[in-house]
């Protein structure tokens, strides 16, 4: 019998970390597979998470592929399913199917500098790439991570950033002035221009709110990054995750299958429908 692509595996929430508070709070969920039917994934892939009775949501896998025991998901409270996640407790069960989508071509980037530019919850999709790159530190040149949030309390993975500093340059920013803030004050694209990483032999990976991505890409281009050197992920409403339900397409591509990772060169050739 073929696999039932719509039947989720059962996952169990074993850890919940409140990343940010507020109307659109973000929580990170650590999920294990009590039935031993976990799956491997690649950097950039997503999974369809279920809250039975509420529905499914496509969420990017925020943990490193090198971590096999559990998967991590950072979820912003937005609608029906994500609100159910935010109401969940440790020990609760969820449904999970995947992994879906393509991946960041990390192996193609060997020997190059990596510049990560994240904003808000957009850090989650690129976090596994950062983790993997750091774990394979000798494969890459300089690693720089730009990350911005509205305020210092909105910074995700705060503790992990401290550890990250050992192997990468970390450039944090907050949108508005804050007393005692040691990092940059201003929007992420501005911080990027301020630090002006070199495009030579570098790859830039960005994810965040659409408006941030737009200006980050403009600024990267101004810094001399070619379209092929810029990678981002896109999202659209998804239901099936397997290229059938017909709604997440950008032109001929179903993002759930062909995406979410695109180089700017590829994305430019697609119609703007995301």
Site for other proteins in 69-128 (CB under 8 A): 77-80, 82-84, 86, 93, 95
Quote the least distance from Cβ 174 to other proteins, whole Å.
21
Binding-site string for other proteins from residue 4 to residue 33, where x marks contact by CB under 8 A and - marks none = xxxxx-x------------xx---------
CA dist., res. 52 & res. 197, Å (int): 45
Which of residues 36, 40, 53, 108 is near other proteins by CB under 8 A? 53
What is the longest distance spanned by two Cα atoms in the chain? 62
Site for other proteins in 32-51 (CB under 8 A): 50
Quote the least distance from Cβ 2 to other proteins, whole Å.
5
Q: How far is CA 270 from CA 46, 103, 228, 252, in A?
A: 21, 18, 15, 8
Residues 169, 172, 174, CA angle at the centre, nearest 5°? Answer: 170
CA dist., res. 21 & res. 154, Å (int): 7
CB 230 within 8 A of CB 220: yes
Site for other proteins in 236-255 (CB under 8 A): 236-237, 239-240, 242-252
Quote the least distance from Cβ 37 to other proteins, whole Å.
12
Sign of the alpha-carbon torsion through 221, 224, 230, 232: negative
Q: How many CA atoms lie within 13 A of 116 on its CB side?
A: 31
Quote the least distance from Cβ 99 to other proteins, whole Å.
12
Q: Which stretch binds other proteins (CB under 8 A): 103-111, 115-123, 189-197, 235-243?
A: 235-243
Residue 144: closest CA among 191, 197, 182, 184: 197
Quote the least distance from Cβ 239 to other proteins, whole Å.
5
Q: Which is nearer to other proteins, 229 or 232 (CB)?
A: 232
CA dist., res. 74 & res. 25, Å (int): 10
Residues at the site binding other proteins, with contacts judged by CB under 8 A:
1-8, 10, 23-24, 50, 52-57, 77-80, 82-84, 86, 93, 95, 210, 235-237, 239-240, 242-252, 257, 271, 273-274
């Amino acid at each position: 019998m073929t696999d039932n692509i719509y039947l989720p595996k059962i996952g169990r929430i074993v850890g919940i970390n409140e990343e940010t508070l507020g109307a659109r709070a973000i929580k990170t969920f650590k999920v294990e597979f009590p039935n031993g039917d976990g799956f491997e994934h690649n950097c950039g892939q997503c999974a369809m998470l279920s809250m039975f009775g509420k529905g499914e949501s496509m969420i990017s896998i925020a943990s490193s592929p090198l971590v096999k025991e559990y998967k991590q998901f950072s979820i912003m409270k937005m609608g029906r399913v994500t609100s159910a996640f935010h109401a969940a407790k440790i020990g609760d069960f969820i449904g999970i199917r995947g992994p879906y989508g393509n991946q960041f071509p990390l192996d193609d980037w060997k020997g190059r500098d990596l510049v990560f530019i994240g904003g808000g919850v957009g850090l989650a999709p690129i976090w596994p790439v950062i983790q993997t790159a750091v774990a394979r530190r000798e494969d890459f040149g300089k690693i720089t991570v730009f990350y911005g949030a509205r305020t210092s309390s909105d910074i995700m993975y705060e503790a992990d950033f401290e550890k990250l500093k050992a192997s990468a340059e970390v450039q944090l920013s907050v949108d508005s002035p804050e007393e005692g803030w040691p990092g940059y004050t201003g929007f992420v694209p501005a911080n990027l221009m301020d630090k002006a990483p070199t495009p030579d032999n570098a790859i830039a990976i960005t994810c965040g709110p659409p408006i941030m991505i737009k200006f980050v890409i403009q600024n990267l281009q101004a810094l001399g990054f070619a379209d092929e050197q810029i990678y981002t992920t896109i999202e659209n409403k998804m239901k099936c995750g397997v290229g059938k339900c017909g709604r997440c397409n950008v032109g001929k591509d179903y993002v759930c299958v062909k995406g979410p990772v695109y180089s700017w060169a590829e994305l430019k050739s697609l119609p703007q429908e995301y």
